[in-house]
Structure 1
């Protein structure tokens, strides 16, 4: 296994780039997984690390760790507030929707409904799909994937909530064997220095290559991302 790509590191925090297919850490449903991002990062930096957030196994991008247990609750208390800004990039089925918000509740594992809010901006419309920049204001399980699928805008490559015919098409035509969902940007206040932080994790090559084959270059992609405003 290659080394974990560290996007930023200081004595308190580590922002890591999780590749698609790797768990952040073991849980009850994946106790058999011996290789996790947390384990790889721990061995790489030579000390125990605590995961602040978790992104789904097929999703890539930013995961935040702290090396200090006493900072866990401090960071998590602000995780779904206005002080923390979490952006994703996704390719979804269908014609573009104008800038907007999905604000409807989602069921949790215990069956109760939980408030959920997902903002989105269309970046580029292809023939049958649209590229979006997404911001989540809550942290529900599979939130982006569920919100988009409920509006028939399934994320391409999503094997849980997606559309099989679209997924098969993108596998055969573009070699996409993963979900097109990436944790791109995380803005927050450092829990110790109180300085603003802005961490960016560019899309992995396999996603950039899909867009290139569809007619959107990497330069155009990042220009669209940075020009769009919330």
Structure 2
């Protein structure tokens, strides 16, 4: 059976060192750690590392985790800045490369939860190739690609909601909680795939529905992207043992769903 590591509240370096130790930022929640790898619950809005996307940002997951553990860390994969959830690091570049190879070989199982516009009443497979979208700043040194890249995502409906509020041309607002299982990792894949089937993820300011985003901000004070990586399964790069690290969806997403309980259909 796969070994699973649920969310646990770990003792932070400041707790170990005593009250005189000061953390410049809140510590990151550790989901799993051994001598080779560490997984955290990345909060939304946190960049993984320094990026030209925001030259004024001073907090990054790599630096914060390094300071928290007093060890160098190497990210094994990426999460978009607004996406929360499981983020995996290693303590050396060789181990990071081994994890990266698993990702390239599609051996890593990733699960996300998302809140989307409209009713999703079934499960299905999105097999829709995506052309790389270049950022004028972050991707200015990359060579343009011609052909779209294969991208596949399995989606499953978990719950539907109908709120008695008029948004846009509709008299009520309909939403769904879905589980997403991507087998590829293209840029903004889940966000673009859900737009492709006309169910954009709430809070997506790049590909989503502006009217719905504004409604969520005004009525529910929700200003995040409603997308969390809630589980990653992979072979331990050193022991070869299968590991499954999981975490609950981000608290702001759960808060909104709790407020919608009376509207579930």
What's the TM-score once normalised by structure 2's chain length? 0.79
Counterpart of 1:121 in structure 2 is 156
Using the alignment, how far apart are the partners of 1:75 and 1:204 within structure 2? 25
1:144 to 186, 190, 194: 190
Q: Please list, as runs of the form range in 1=range in 2, the aligned pairs for 1:40-189 lying within 5 A after superposition.
A: 40-108=64-132, 109=134, 110-112=144-146, 113-127=148-162, 128-189=174-235
Q: Please list, as runs of the form range in 1=range in 2, the aligned pairs for 1:208-227 lying within 5 A after superposition.
A: 208-215=254-261
**What stretches of structure 1 of length at least 5 have no aligned partner?**
221-230
Shift of 1:26: 1.4
Contact 2:75–2:88 (Cα < 8 Å) also in 1:
yes
Shift of 1:28: 3.2
Query: Secondary structure of the residue that 2:86 maps to in structure 1?
Result: strand
Q: 1:192-223: CA deviations, max 9, x gaps? A: 1111101011122211110000007xxx9xxx
Counterpart of 2:242 in structure 1 is 196
Q: CA RMSD in A?
A: 1.5
Shift of 1:157: 0.7
Shift of 1:97: 4.3
The alignment covers a number of residue pairs equal to 217
Segment drifting more, 170-179 vs 85-94: 170-179
Shift of 1:80: 4.3
Query: Secondary structure of the residue that 1:14 maps to in structure 2?
Result: strand
**What stretches of structure 2 of length at least 5 have no aligned partner?**
1-24, 135-143, 163-173
Shift of 1:30: 3.0
Segment drifting more, 89-98 vs 137-146: 89-98
Which has the larger share of helix? Answer: 1
Contact 1:4–1:16 (Cα < 8 Å) also in 2:
yes
Using the alignment, how far apart are the partners of 2:150 and 2:54 within structure 1? 27
Using the alignment, how far apart are the partners of 2:241 and 2:195 within structure 1? 37
Q: Which runs of 4+ in 1 moved over 6 A?
A: none
Segment drifting more, 202-211 vs 156-165: 202-211
Shift of 1:175: 1.5
Contact 2:235–2:243 (Cα < 8 Å) also in 1:
yes
Segment drifting more, 109-118 vs 89-98: 109-118
Bigger RCO (CA 8 Å, 6+ sep): 2
